[in-house]
Amino acid sequence: MGSQYGSDHAGFGCAACCAEDALVAQAHHQSHNGVRVERMIQDDSHFIVSVQRCGLCSQAFASVFTEYVDWVASQDAQYRTVLPITDAEADDLMAGRLSPHRVGALGHGRRHLQSDWPSEADKPSVYWDSGVFEVREGY
């Protein structure tokens, strides 16, 4: 452990948790032996942030889940961003030295697994995105 990753996203994760195919990666993240929650950082009903770790390669991830209650449609909009982070960043997040709202800034030069499920869609779209992203609390 203690290895330092560069800003190149190719240095993060393994063929399972950072699979080129976003749907393959998501399947691994959602499997019981895939990526597990290491620490809950924030656990509100509409804003859930956790540090997770791949069971195969020990790559740490910051997972940000946001839900927006749709008072008109019956289905709420859900968005999830899973960003690979270094062990040092995971430690900072778990120790409270790094605010969950600052996680988006870590996205610079990295890929993140994005799952968008707007209330009008019947299934989520899953894809790799890259760069800084906005962390917003849902409602």
Least distance between Zn ion and beta carbon 45 (Å): 29
Provide, rounded to whole angstroms, the least separation between the CB of residue 7 and Zn ion: 19
**Helix or strand (DSSP H, E) at 5:** none
Task: Pick from 22, 27, 56, 77 the residue near Zn ion by CB under 5 A.
Answer: 56
CA–CA dist 35, 53 (Å, integer): 5
88 binds Zn ion (CB under 5 A): no
Q: Which residues contact 8 (CB under 8 A, 6 or more apart)?
A: 109
**Site map 58..77 versus Zn ion, x via CB under 5 A:** -x------------------
* Dist. CA 77–CA 23, nearest whole Å: 19
What does the binding site for Zn ion look like in residue numbers (CB under 5 A)?
13-14, 17, 54, 56-57, 59
